[in-house]
Amino acid sequence: MKEGDEDKLLKNTIREERLQVFNIARRLGSKLSGLMIACGVLIFIFGVYLLFVPIDPSLSVRLSTIFTGALGFIGGLNILCGFLLLIGEE
């Protein structure tokens, strides 16, 4: 193989890999966005419910743990979506 052919092959391979990563990021991004919206709506509804219903003191510790875990899950999804946005940039 000539040196020029190797450079061409390398550039073509890099371009193909970039397109594959971009397509994967686009596909995952739409699914993760839907998941983020669904989780956000559920946590919002749950928070509004807790504002209007008196809280049982024995449940407050468990509710706090669940609420904190849900917020941590959304934070992790947010970071993952940010990474997908960075990958998808050209």
HEC profile of 11-67: HHHHHHHHHHHHHHHHHHHHHHHHHHHHHHHHHHHHHHHHHHCCCCHHHHHHHHHHH
The more confidently predicted of residues 44 and 87 is 44
**No. of H helices and E strands in the chain?**
2, 0
**pTM here?**
0.59
List the chain domain ranges.
Answer: 3-88
pLDDT tens by residue, 12-23: 777 777 778 778
- Tokens 């609420």: give the residue: 67
SS3 2: coil
- pLDDT, mean of residues 45-65: 78
